[in-house]
Amino acid sequence: MSDQPARAADRSAARAADVAAAVLGHPAVIRLDGGPFGSIASYLPGRRLAGVRVGTGEEPTEVAVVVRLGHPFPGLADEIAGRVRSVLGPVGVEVTFSDVGAADAASPPAR
């Protein structure tokens, strides 16, 4: 029996977690969010990672974030997409801004 599917699942989980870390590292990002209806998510072994869905094939990678007030969305979307591409390479990226909050906003749990 081949463990190839398990290794592929492990790689996908690691990639989603790496994307999440890169996006959360942006100073304007308060937290990841599931987006409309909580649909932007990755299903990792034993848990659900809201806010990141790595595309397969020609599908774009999707991220949904809550950001701090005072950052223009177009530039911020480009910066976040750049962080995703630093992990995944040259892929399409769709950024959803789910909400904005104050710079000192506490981070409630992701949907």
CB atoms within 10 A of CB 31: 22
Per-residue pLDDT of the chain (111 residues; tens, 9 = 90+): 456 666 666 778 889 999 999 999 999 999 999 988 889 999 888 889 999 999 988 999 999 999 999 889 999 999 999 999 999 999 999 999 999 998 665 555 444
* Residue 100: both structure tokens together: 């904005």
pLDDT of residue 26: 97
The Cα 4–Cα 60 span in angstroms is 24
Q: Is the dihedral of CA 68, 39, 48, 18 positive or negative?
A: negative
Domains along the chain? 4-101 (3.30.70.1350)
Residue position matching structure tokens 């463990």: 3
Helix (H, G, I), strand (E, B) or coil at 53: strand
